[in-house]
């Protein structure tokens, strides 16, 4: 299991006001951000990313828009800074919300440029994006995945074509001369990742051979991984743990209490992230007809929940650290605790090759964040690297 | 359940009611909801033909259809397929937009155009929101804008069968496909409204909070000879909210054609 550290670079000083308004995203006016404080925080977060290189962790960056929960507005911009400050870490963009990007060729150019700059360290996530990203981008939620797949195909072709220019006359994108300069070091393209929470995503990712990642719910992850492995087998290949990724909050301490305390602070991110005005949570077309039927049947007051390992529903907005640990949202404690928890998780999931280590939620102090990264990098990550396919899954 | 007709390769479900001069009714984004009484009221004096738009009800939404232009040509083909002559072309809200796109292209099968609280044109400046952003407000707030009496329009989705819920979800997605960006309008349509060469009647709910009566006046100003009248105690869907008053005004208009 490899470990990729990430942080959403939150603007947590505005969270209380956002929570009071019932929305931290889209319609939360930016008068609530102090730009100088934002700059101070961004520098601090980037220092935390840079530390990962020293302790042997890889790095992941994501982006969101119009929100106090994440100040990263552009993955390539953040990775450009981080690429210059790191030497060994692989750099995962997870990712570019390509169905919301008007110009896929620009995405290919940026990824190629980063791959050159970093000496071939880029891994490239092409993601659907969260439902509340539709409004800031004003992208059409209808036929979103058709647009996603056209952008996906165009980006991969732009990155891997060396004898261009080529033309592209598609349903959503039209170009007459695609010929990106520079082209990426990693050929034909940097490794491609997708994200999702459904069996369908697992199947789609398997058909492309991409890495598939999901977050914060072991209960949802397992069926998706199983669907991936099954589809790969049908197509004549074995999907190993290196095709599966999982994002979770991790708090490590010299004592169990310290680890739990750090995890609890980081988990405030998960408690705030879903707080967004209702109309932006389910734009028409974003979710499947089946999912919408279930929501209409449940009525307007039903909250979306995840369930723990015993099927007990947990509300992310109010959950305790223990409840989060029961849903595999959080791993926490001493280095030994966390290793054992992840080892058990790896076995339950049938082998997960990538842990996306959510190690900064906003309120965690710089000292705590650095110590969390250092402990993970030196005490846990080396042991996780030895962790492969769990014995039980290998025997199946 | 209506009957199915295949037009230009598209399988359309069509509701029909009544006898008399044909009236092609194009429904709003909220759907046709044929169980509501307005369809039969209109049917008292007209042969009402009300297709479910592609993606709504039992009508298919093929991949190649995705703009209101497509819907305009599709319904011109439908009018030809049904052999409509001297018909009334009517549309409500999103359906009004489609009707206007039809009328700027070809009115040869129609004797009159009736638009009820239509969407579809841009009137104000870049910072003016001519059409309320129905997708940025909670459902309850939408209902307050769209109905004079929101209680009349409430639908308890927790009590509907899954097939109807799937229809609602499909229709909502289809409305996004056709109208998300630019939001519920065609920036060029206003400049072509002068081409409409049949008597045109605008009906407006006096308490419409989605598109105001001022917006209606802009429509009236662009269509040669158009007239406009309002319906009290009605919001954005006067045919649902005041079916008797709506049917009476439609009748008064079509009698003169």
pLDDT tens across the length of chain B (257 residues): 789 999 999 999 999 999 999 999 999 999 987 677 889 999 999 999 999 999 999 999 999 999 999 999 999 999 999 999 999 999 999 999 999 999 999 999 999 999 999 999 999 999 999 999 999 999 999 999 999 999 998 888 899 999 989 999 999 999 999 999 999 999 999 999 999 999 999 999 999 999 999 999 999 999 999 999 999 999 999 999 999 999 999 999 999 99
Distance, CA of B104 to CA of B173 (rounded, Å): 27
Neighbour-count burial for A125-163, b at 16+ CB within 10 Å, e otherwise: bbbbbbbbbbbbeebbbbbbbebbbbbbebbbbbbebee
Among the partner residues A143, A296, A298, nearest to B168 by beta-carbon distance: A296
Where does the pLDDT of residue A301 fall: very low under 50, low under 70, confident under 90, or very high at 90 and above? low
pLDDT of residue A395: 44
Of the two residues A312 and A201, the one the predictor is more confident about is A201
Interface test with A, best of B169, B175, B177 (most A CBs within 10 A): B169
Q: How many CA atoms lie within 13 A of A220 on its CB side?
A: 20
Q: Characterise B101 by phi-psi region: left (phi > 0), alpha (psi -120 to 50), beta (else).
A: alpha
C-alpha–C-alpha distance, residues B115 and B252, integer Å: 14
Strands B10-17 and B3-7: antiparallel
The predicted-structure confidence for A39-91, as pLDDT tens digits, reads as follows 999 999 999 999 999 999 999 999 999 999 999 999 999 999 999 999 999 99
Q: Which helix (H) or strand (E) holds A107?
A: helix A104-117
ipTM of this complex: 0.94
Chain A residues close to B61, C-beta within 8 Å: none
Residues of B in contact with A141 (CB under 8 A): 173, 176, 180
CB B219 within 8 A of CB B121: yes
Contacts of A296 in chain B (CB under 8 A): 157-158, 160, 165, 168-169
| Parallel/antiparallel/unpaired status of strands A58-61 and A91-97 | parallel
pLDDT classification of A387: cutoffs 50, 70, 90: confident
Burial class (CB in 10 A: 0-12, 13-18, 19+), B194: exposed
* Residue of B131, B132, B134, B113 whose CA lies nearest to B123: B131
Any idea how long chain A is? 396
For residue A175, with 0-12 CB atoms within 10 Å meaning exposed, 13-18 middle and 19 or more buried, which class applies? middle
Nearest CA in chain B to A27: B136
**Integer Cα distance of B200 and A252 in angstroms:** 72
φ, ψ of residue A316 to 5 degrees: the values are -60, -25
Tell me how close the Cα of A197 comes to any Cα of chain B, in angstroms. 20
CB B173 within 8 A of CB B66: no
Q: Give the separation between CA B51 and CA B10, rounded to whole angstroms.
A: 12
| pLDDT surpasses 70 at A348 | yes
Residue-by-residue DSSP string for B4-25: EEEETTEEEEEEEE--SEEEEE
Asked whether the beta carbons of A260 and A252 are under 8 A apart, the reply is no
Q: What is the pLDDT of residue A396?
A: 46
Residues A22-27: what's their mean pLDDT?
A: 93
How far is the C-alpha of A8 from the C-alpha of B239, rounded, in Å?
49
Q: Which residues of B touch A (CB under 8 A)?
A: 63, 66, 135-139, 157-158, 160, 162, 165-166, 168-170, 172-178, 180-181
Amino acid A176: pLDDT: 98
Q: What mean pLDDT value characterizes chain A?
A: 93
Evaluate whether A258 touches B118 at the Cβ level (below 8 Å).
no
CB A285 within 8 A of CB A328: no
User: Dihedral, CA atoms, B173, A145, A66, A19, nearest 10 degrees?
Assistant: 70
In words, the CATH class of domain A2-99+197-395 is alpha beta
Structural domain boundaries, residue B67 = 3-255
Q: How confident is the model at residue A303 (pLDDT cuts 50, 70, 90)?
A: low
- A208-A60-A238 Cα angle (round to 5): 30
- Least confident interval from A100-104, A185-189, A304-308: A304-308
* Residues in contact with A182: Cβ distance below 8 Å, sequence separation at least 6, in sequence order: A112, A113, A116
Q: Which residues contact A366 (CB under 8 A, 6 or more apart)?
A: A44, A47, A48
Residues of chain A contacting residue B136, judged by C-beta atoms under 8 Å apart? 27, 135, 279-280
CA dihedral of B126, B174, B59, B67, whole degrees rounded to 10: 40
| Neighbouring residues of B35: CB distance < 8 A, sequence distance ≥ 6 | none
- Report residue A102's pLDDT band, with 50, 70 and 90 as the boundaries: very high
Quote the pLDDT of residue A218: 76
What is the DSSP secondary-structure string of B185-218?
B-TTHHHHGGG--S-EEEEEETT-SSS-HHHHHH
Tell me the C-alpha distance between B159 and B165, whole Å.
10
Tell me which residue in B162, B168, B177 faces A143 most closely, judged by beta carbons.
B177
A296 to chain B, closest Cα gap in Å: 6
Position A318 confidence tier, pLDDT thresholds 50, 70, 90: confident
- What digits encode the pLDDT tens for the residues B141-154? 999 999 999 999 88
Mutate to test the interface with A, among B64, B173, B184 (most CBs of A within 10 A): B173
Q: How many domains does chain B have?
A: 1
pLDDT at position A305 over 70: no
CATH code of the domain containing B75? 3.40.50.1820
Residues of A in contact with B175 (CB under 8 A): 142, 284
Indicate if the pLDDT at residue A304 is higher than 90.
Answer: no
Structure tokens at B55: 């993606």
């Amino acid at each position: 299991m490899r470990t990729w550290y990430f942080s959403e670079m939150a603007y947590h000083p505005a969270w209380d006001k956002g929570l009071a308004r019932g929305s931290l995203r889209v319609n939360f006016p930016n008068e609530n951000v102090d730009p100088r404080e934002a700059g101070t925080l961004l520098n601090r977060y980037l220092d935390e990313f840079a530390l990962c290189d020293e302790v042997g962790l890889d790095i992941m960056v994501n982006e969101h828009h119009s929100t106090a929960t994440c100040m990263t507005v552009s993955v390539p911009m953040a990775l450009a800074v981080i690429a210059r400050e790191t030497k060994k870490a692989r750099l995962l963009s997870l990712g570019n919300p390509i169905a919301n990007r008007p110009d896929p060729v620009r995405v290919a150019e940026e990824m190629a440029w980063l791959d050159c700059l970093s000496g071939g360290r880029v891994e490239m996530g092409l993601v659907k994006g969260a439902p509340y990203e539709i409004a800031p981008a004003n992208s059409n939620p209808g036929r979103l995945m058709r647009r996603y797949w056209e952008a996906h195909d165009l980006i991969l072709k732009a990155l891997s074509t060396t004898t261009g220019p080529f033309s592209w006359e598609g349903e959503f994108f039209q170009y007459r001369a695609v010929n990106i300069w520079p082209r990426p070091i990693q050929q034909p393209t940097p490794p491609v990742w997708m994200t999702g929470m459904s069996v369908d995503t697992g199947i789609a990712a398997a058909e492309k051979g991409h890495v598939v990642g999901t977050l914060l719910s072991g209960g949802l992850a397992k069926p998706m991984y199983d669907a991936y492995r099954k589809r790969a087998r049908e197509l004549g290949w074995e999907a190993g743990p290196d095709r599966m990724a999982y994002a979770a909050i991790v708090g490590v301490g010299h004592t169990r209490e310290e680890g739990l305390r750090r995890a609890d602070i980081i988990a405030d991110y998960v408690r705030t992230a879903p707080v967004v005005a209702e109309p932006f949570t389910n734009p028409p077309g974003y979710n499947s007809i089946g999912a919408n039927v279930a929501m209409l049947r449940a009525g307007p007051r039903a909250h979306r929940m995840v369930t723990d390992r015993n099927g007990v529903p947990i509300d992310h907005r109010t959950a305790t650290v223990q409840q989060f640990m029961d849903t595999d949202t959080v791993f926490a404690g001493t280095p030994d605790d966390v290793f054992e928890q992840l080892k058990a998780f790896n076995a339950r999931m049938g082998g997960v090759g990538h842990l996306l280590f959510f190690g900064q939620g906003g309120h965690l102090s710089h000292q705590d964040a650095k110590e969390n990264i250092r402990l993970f990098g030196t005490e846990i990550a080396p042991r996780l690297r030895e962790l492969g396919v769990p014995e039980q899954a290998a025997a199946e | 359940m209506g009957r199915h007709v295949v037009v230009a390769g598209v399988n359309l479900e069509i509701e029909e009611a009544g006898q008399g001069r044909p009236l092609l009714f194009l429904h709003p984004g909220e759907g046709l909801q044929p169980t509501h009484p307005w369809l039969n009221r209109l049917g008292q004096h007209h042969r009402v033909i009300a297709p479910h738009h592609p993606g709504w009800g039992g009508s298919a939404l093929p991949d190649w259809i995705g703009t209101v232009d497509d819907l305009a040509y599709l319904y011109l083909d439908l009018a030809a397929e049904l052999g409509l002559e001297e018909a009334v072309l009517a549309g409500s809200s999103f359906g009004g937009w489609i009707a206007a796109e039809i009328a700027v292209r070809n009115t040869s099968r129609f004797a009159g155009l009736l638009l009820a609280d239509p969407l579809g044109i841009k009137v104000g400046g870049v910072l003016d929101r001519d059409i309320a952003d129905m997708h940025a407000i909670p459902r309850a707030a939408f209902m307050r804008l769209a109905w004079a009496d929101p209680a009349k329009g409430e639908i308890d989705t927790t009590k509907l069968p899954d097939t109807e819920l799937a229809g609602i979800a499909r229709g909502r997605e289809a409305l996004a496909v056709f109208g998300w960006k630019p939001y519920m309008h065609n920036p060029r349509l206003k400049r072509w409204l002068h081409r409409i060469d049949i008597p045109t009647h605008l009906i407006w709910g006096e308490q419409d909070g989605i598109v105001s009566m001022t917006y209606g006046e802009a429509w009236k100003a662009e269509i040669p000879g158009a007239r406009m009248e309002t319906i009290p105690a009605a919001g954005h869907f006067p045919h649902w909210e005041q079916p008797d008053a709506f049917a009476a005004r439609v009748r008064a208009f079509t009698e003169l054609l």
